[in-house]
Structure 1
């Protein structure tokens, strides 16, 4: 067994040796295989890298071939390009329409001749281009834009009248930097500045200097083209285009010219557009305006400028070192301005303008006739009979949201002729001041139309009731230095009869009891002596006591009957009547119904008539405001009023007012109608009217336009007559 055990052990060792030998052989074989695989993998990587390098360099070679052979000339130009200029394109201005879409201020196509500096940067080239263009314009009977304040007279240069400011600018350090120059010396200095001093003909020299001077003022540059002539005829366009086919610096640009339709309809409200002056430029340059841009000057054109203007587009122009254009690209598209819909009804506005003008002229005619008769009879009073009545206004509001239905001011004018030199001279020289907007800016003593305000305050403050009696003997002398005279001797008066008879004694005493502070507090809440909210410029008016520099107790009784310092605008008086009709709630008075985009398929802003903006509330109880309304209705039931406004087929609440002043008395009429369910509030005011029935007559014509859809032709055929 031992022998066998040793044999087995030996056998095991032999086997181990054999296994070890075999194992070493196997490992050697494996190592050999691994080395072989590594060599193969390295070869593959080398091959892949070579292929990638071939592809990459092949791509470069193809791209270089494209750059140098296929598009070689094109990219050679681009490689030489040295300057990129951004040029703005004008935005189309938004239009203005009335509430029904009737056109008021719109755009029509016009042609401008412009010079683009990108295509003519050398002074000599530019001057030659200008001379050729001016000759062409002269042949075509067109004028260029000429703002040089120097003219040629008798063969010499002279300063234009009123040119001091321009001359001062030319002599300033930014230009010639020398003071006290003669007109000829300025021409020579500017000619040298613009390399035009070699031009011998004085007319040609002056023309070139004029254009170059205006170019500099307007910021002519690579980014800003210069308009040499605007609104030229199509015949001129054809001639200029033909003669300048090889002159790329001259361009014919199609622009939208502002055109005013119905220029006499709402001139005081509409406003105009014009070139920026230096003050406007400084105030608006951060908004992207240039000196050559247009801007709204006043009225809706100015008030809605941000909506109407639109946004200019941009085009990038690339030029090479020689000034040649090698590329253009529109980078920003222009956006036209928005369309403004006003609350004005053109038909009613036309009636209002016609009837106040007709009745004012009638007041003056009757006044002159009365003066003539008084002088012939050697009467004690020989003036102040309405002969000086030359102006007035009318404003109608929709009481449901205080939108302005019409707002007429007389004397009127045609705003489409605003830039006509002869016509504008007449406008500024006319002593009746036709450009003055009496509807929104004129502040006048209200007379007895202030009495409903006093009644409102007294009732709400429990100072009076409907049963409070005050005696009238024709004179109120509580304050010896402030005696108030009444138009009648009314005896004992209560609120309704006192309002109907417009008793000064009654309201002077009520005003004394109320006090000036409480009185003007209610006046403010009702819209008197406060801006109404209309979008265009309006006067604040004057509230007695609040705005007075000095005040005595006796002044209060004068204020209570609408005298003293009280002075309100017709739009405030209409707003006041509307607030009473709305039970003491005052809405924001406004002229804009809605704003839409230029295409009119998207609403930008909407003043919803169903959701009026509340400005103030009086806090007066319904019972008290009803008492004031009833008193205003009682006005229509007096004997005299039954033959005037009380005769109108639709019942109303109203109040007349006669205000003393230098000259004939002012006449005021306010009302709201229908009485039971008010839709409108109206104020008609005649300066120095002298007759209270004429404003009422005009008011009834305007009411006819609203309630019965009458137009001017209807009113002319069948005017309201008392």
Structure 2
């Protein structure tokens, strides 16, 4: 048995050994194959690297050969070709947006005009440019067209002399920006500029000066391939025809159609509208970053300035390709110009015209009556002559829509014609007139409000529980609580309660109420009602002066003066109208504004819209409805006094109102504020006459304006049928 087992064991061992040999052989074959594959892979990688290197060398060699061909073999040829074809980017003007009244009637619009310009693309050499200028000047002279001349030197009696007031311009010419020489005579400046512009070979002094003037202005305005230079602006169509014919062979001279700013009625809202003019050097620093050039126009003041970002629009650009002869061989508009947006104001032109007419008429009437009083006083050898309006020369009126505080009209007198603003003779008159017609009294004139301040004092006292409707204060014609600040009343009213005191404008009553309220509480309510605060209108306005808050010194006795609208109190007519509106709106003050909406130039979509149904609330007084109603009732009671029933109380539409007479040097100021209709207010109005002397005249003007609003009267209707008390 053991022998069988051994044989079986040996047989199994041989079998296992055989299998082990087979496995080893198989592994050896696999290893050999793998080694062979790795070798093939390495050979392939080396081949790829070699191919890449060869390709890279070939590409570099190709570039080198091409550069050699461009720069060495054909360098001059390509240089000439490049010089022969030049591309310039030129700005195209953007049309300025227009300004319309609330009904779309034009106020400042665009009309087609013609400018004669020189384009540097066609005249790059000094000598060539000077010859073009001389030929053009001769043509313009024959057409009686003046070129734009800003050189501050004239040729008079055979010599060059500085123009009057030319100091700043001369300093600029002598500065490092130009000649970099100081203390030169007029002759020396012309000579130096002539050398600078290669015009020193021109013998005729008039021609030399003209060429130098244009070249000087070209440099100043940034004349370049991108910026043409305007030689003459707003040229007649007849002159355009002549210039076009005589410059057909002079491609550098071009006739360009531009949109000229035209004011349709220069006397309607001159203080509000403003003007457009060239950027000056001081303004350029601020506007440069916005993409403006020195030859661009901007709004100088008024709505033109306030809405500049909307009105301006965006200039476009186009690329012009010219050949070596200066001929245009290609043109492409790269960026389209975008016209400016159109601005609709809240101003109603018909009511504005009535307001301007009636305040002017009644101010003249006040002055006439005052002068008659002076004449009588002199005839009677009176020691004291009249102070009843002989010095009345100015005033203002502002009407608001109380539902959103949009300005319906805002007239300032004396008035002026802004369409003539750039006329030298007219502007000399404007800036020299001692009555300052350019001063916007409606928005910037601050005046003592007189008794129109009393409703504010009443609201503060009622809300602070300092008085009630039953509070009685005695008036004996004089209030002397403070011996150094005695308040005089216009009458002896006896015991007074709020309604009677408001109706009779009792100074003694309100002086005592003001003392109890205190100056701090008083001016806090005044601020909320819009007094001594900017109203929010888009154009320039004064903050006014609020007694106590803005006073440099203050004594206790000053409070009683402030309570009757005197002391340091000084408010603008637009603030007083806003104040009346806040009372009409039960103590809610809306933002006062002149812009109804801004639309795109095509007028198809709104860019900005001041929705009258969604007015912006600026402040709320916090006065209860009961207390507001008491003040309103007191303001209605004003119309029921004997005097007022013969004046504004006669008006067929019920109103709440208050008159004010403010003492100052000269005749008293007269103020009238109101809101109407009393039961459902639509408008608030302030009329103010400087040194008016007679309180009924502002009321007459107010009734004319109310007629324009409520009965659709125009200025012709008011002239035929004015209010007369």
Residue 402 of structure 1 corresponds to 405
Superposition pairs for residues 313-352 of structure 1, below 5 Å?
A: 313-320=316-323, 325-352=328-355
Residue 28 of structure 2 corresponds to none
| Aligned mates of 2:493, 2:382 — CA distance in 1 | 28
| Aligned mates of 2:450, 2:81 — CA distance in 1 | 79
Residue 493 of structure 2 corresponds to 490
Mark the runs of 5 or more structure 2 residues left unpaired by the alignment.
1-77
| Aligned mates of 1:638, 1:177 — CA distance in 2 | 76
Residue 131 of structure 1 corresponds to 134
1:693 to 690, 693, 696: 696
Residue 667 of structure 2 corresponds to 664
2:297 to 294, 299, 303: 294
Superposition pairs for residues 15-414 of structure 1, below 5 Å?
A: 83-320=86-323, 325-414=328-417
| Aligned mates of 2:191, 2:80 — CA distance in 1 | 41
| Aligned mates of 2:231, 2:140 — CA distance in 1 | 10
User: Residue 698 of structure 1 aligns to a residue in which SS?
Assistant: helix
Residue 571 of structure 2 corresponds to 568
Q: CA deviation at 1:174?
A: 1.4
| Aligned mates of 1:203, 1:315 — CA distance in 2 | 37
| Aligned mates of 2:202, 2:287 — CA distance in 1 | 38
User: Residue 103 of structure 2 aligns to a residue in which SS?
Assistant: coil
Q: Residues 675-694 of structure 1: CA distance to partner in whole angstroms, max 9, x if unpaired?
A: 00000000000000000000
Q: Residues 592-634 of structure 1: CA distance to partner in whole angstroms, max 9, x if unpaired?
A: 0111111111111111110000000001000000000000000
Aligned partners of 1:338 and 1:595 also within 8 Å: yes
Residue 607 of structure 1 corresponds to 610
Q: Residues 283-338 of structure 1: CA distance to partner in whole angstroms, max 9, x if unpaired?
A: 10111100100000000000000000000010112345665544221101111001
Q: Residues 229-266 of structure 1: CA distance to partner in whole angstroms, max 9, x if unpaired?
A: 00001111111111111211111000000000011000
| Aligned mates of 2:325, 2:716 — CA distance in 1 | 68
Residue 580 of structure 1 corresponds to 583
Residue 437 of structure 1 corresponds to 440
Q: CA deviation at 1:381?
A: 2.0
User: Residue 232 of structure 1 aligns to a residue in which SS?
Assistant: coil
Q: Does 1:529 align with 2:532?
A: yes
Q: Residues 128-180 of structure 1: CA distance to partner in whole angstroms, max 9, x if unpaired?
A: 11111111111001100000000011011000000000001111111111111
Q: Residues 551-594 of structure 1: CA distance to partner in whole angstroms, max 9, x if unpaired?
A: 11111000000000000000000000000000000000000011
| Aligned mates of 1:492, 1:232 — CA distance in 2 | 75
1:655 to 628, 652, 658: 658
Residue 32 of structure 2 corresponds to none
User: Residue 573 of structure 1 aligns to a residue in which SS?
Assistant: helix
User: Residue 694 of structure 2 aligns to a residue in which SS?
Assistant: coil
| Aligned mates of 1:365, 1:524 — CA distance in 2 | 37
1:499 to 492, 498, 502: 502
| Aligned mates of 2:178, 2:577 — CA distance in 1 | 54
Q: CA deviation at 1:77?
A: 9.0
User: Residue 586 of structure 2 aligns to a residue in which SS?
Assistant: coil
Q: Residues 347-402 of structure 1: CA distance to partner in whole angstroms, max 9, x if unpaired?
A: 00000000000000000000000011112112232031210000000000000000
2:556 to 553, 557, 560: 553
| Aligned mates of 2:531, 2:422 — CA distance in 1 | 36
Residue 13 of structure 1 corresponds to none
Aligned partners of 1:95 and 1:308 also within 8 Å: yes
Q: Does 1:473 align with 2:463?
A: no
Aligned partners of 1:81 and 1:318 also within 8 Å: no
2:598 to 595, 599, 605: 595
| Aligned mates of 1:403, 1:679 — CA distance in 2 | 11
Residue 423 of structure 2 corresponds to 420
Q: Residues 67-116 of structure 1: CA distance to partner in whole angstroms, max 9, x if unpaired?
A: xxxxxxxx999755564321101100000000011110000000000011
Residue 457 of structure 2 corresponds to 454
Aligned partners of 1:672 and 1:682 also within 8 Å: yes
Q: Residues 474-530 of structure 1: CA distance to partner in whole angstroms, max 9, x if unpaired?
A: 111111101100000111100000000000000000001101010000000000000
| Aligned mates of 2:149, 2:179 — CA distance in 1 | 20
| Aligned mates of 2:178, 2:537 — CA distance in 1 | 44
Aligned residue pairs: how many? 648
| Aligned mates of 2:269, 2:175 — CA distance in 1 | 42
Residue 642 of structure 2 corresponds to 639
User: Residue 545 of structure 1 aligns to a residue in which SS?
Assistant: coil
Q: Residues 654-676 of structure 1: CA distance to partner in whole angstroms, max 9, x if unpaired?
A: 00000000100000000000000
| Aligned mates of 1:234, 1:325 — CA distance in 2 | 26
User: Residue 203 of structure 1 aligns to a residue in which SS?
Assistant: helix
Aligned partners of 1:653 and 1:672 also within 8 Å: yes
| Aligned mates of 2:603, 2:481 — CA distance in 1 | 63
| Aligned mates of 1:314, 1:633 — CA distance in 2 | 63
User: Residue 317 of structure 1 aligns to a residue in which SS?
Assistant: strand
| Aligned mates of 2:472, 2:80 — CA distance in 1 | 99
Residue 631 of structure 2 corresponds to 628
User: Residue 114 of structure 2 aligns to a residue in which SS?
Assistant: strand
User: Residue 603 of structure 2 aligns to a residue in which SS?
Assistant: coil
User: Residue 321 of structure 2 aligns to a residue in which SS?
Assistant: strand
Moved more, 78-87 or 670-679: 78-87
User: Residue 183 of structure 2 aligns to a residue in which SS?
Assistant: coil
| Aligned mates of 1:166, 1:273 — CA distance in 2 | 22
Aligned partners of 1:485 and 1:504 also within 8 Å: yes
Aligned partners of 1:272 and 1:297 also within 8 Å: yes
Moved more, 210-219 or 82-91: 82-91
User: Residue 371 of structure 2 aligns to a residue in which SS?
Assistant: helix
Q: Does 1:517 align with 2:520?
A: yes
User: Residue 557 of structure 2 aligns to a residue in which SS?
Assistant: helix
| Aligned mates of 2:569, 2:79 — CA distance in 1 | 80
| Aligned mates of 1:321, 1:660 — CA distance in 2 | 79
| Aligned mates of 1:78, 1:595 — CA distance in 2 | 51
User: Residue 316 of structure 1 aligns to a residue in which SS?
Assistant: strand
Aligned partners of 1:78 and 1:326 also within 8 Å: no
| Aligned mates of 2:323, 2:285 — CA distance in 1 | 34
Q: Aligned Cα RMSD in Å? A: 1.2
